[in-house]
Amino acid sequence: DVKVTQSSRYLVKRTGEKVFLECVQDMDHENMFWYRQDPGLGLRLIYFSYDVKMKEKGDIPEGYSVSREKKERFSLILESASTNQTSMYLCASSRTGYDGELFFGEGSRLTVL
Amino acid sequence: RKEVEQDPGPFNVPEGATVAFNCTYSNSASQSFFWYRQDCRKEPKLLMSVYSSGNEDGRFTAQLNRASQYISLLIRDSKLSDSATYLCVVIHNYGQNFVFGPGTRLSVLP
């Protein structure tokens, strides 16, 4: 059974803390993505990576960074969390190509106080 | 203007009804098209691809009109279990750029 696993389902952090969200996929996919999902705004792409050590900014990269040191792992980092980063964060992976299947993790709900 | 737009919803329909969702996209270079389903507090999952010739999967029919840049999803004989948010998705750049619509929420009522 294919799987994308996110390290934490629920996190509560304080303003200014550094936050790491980790994601691991077991499908040998080239592409990995971080989205955030907010009511009324839908899914918005933060960053994606199409290869180890490669990264591309998405629509809302400000306040975030990412790391992809191994093909199966893609980390999202909030250097100094702020209350407007309270959200549901979804990691996903896909093969390169047009078959359209994006596999998501279960999500990490982050609350910044 | 958002790149992918959908009916705002929510759609509240009785069991057994037929319901149709519409989606428009603005980027004519979009290469592939899909419908995803997202249950409450769950992650999105692929429902079906959308082909120019139209395609059907049981009670679900998807259509694509490239000239009008329009995608549709028809659900026949709605079930309670169809209640979810339906997301229209377009792909660019050989699968490296998935653009999601905001989603349309469907509630099927007994």
Report the pLDDT value the prediction gives residue A98, as an integer from 0 to 100: 59
Q: Closest to B43 (Cβ–Cβ): which among A42, A94, A105?
A: A105
Q: Which tokens in the block code for residue A19?
A: 């936050």
Chain B residue closest in CA terms to A47 = B97
Report the pLDDT value the prediction gives residue A76, as an integer from 0 to 100: 98
Report the pLDDT value the prediction gives residue B97, as an integer from 0 to 100: 78
Angle at B16 between CA B11 and CA B22, to 5 degrees: 35
| pLDDT for A32 beyond 70 | yes
Are the beta carbons of B96 and A31 closer than 8 angstroms?
yes
Report the pLDDT value the prediction gives residue B30, as an integer from 0 to 100: 83
| pLDDT for A99 beyond 80 | no
Phi, psi dihedrals of residue B76, rounded to the nearest 5°: -100, 155
Report the pLDDT value the prediction gives residue B94, as an integer from 0 to 100: 62
Q: Closest to A102 (Cβ–Cβ): which among B31, B49, B98?
A: B98
- Tell me if chain B has a CB within 8 Å of the CB of A90: yes
Average pLDDT estimate for B83-88: 96
Beta bridge partners of A112: A13
Report the pLDDT value the prediction gives residue A93, as an integer from 0 to 100: 93
Radius of gyration of chain B (CA): 13
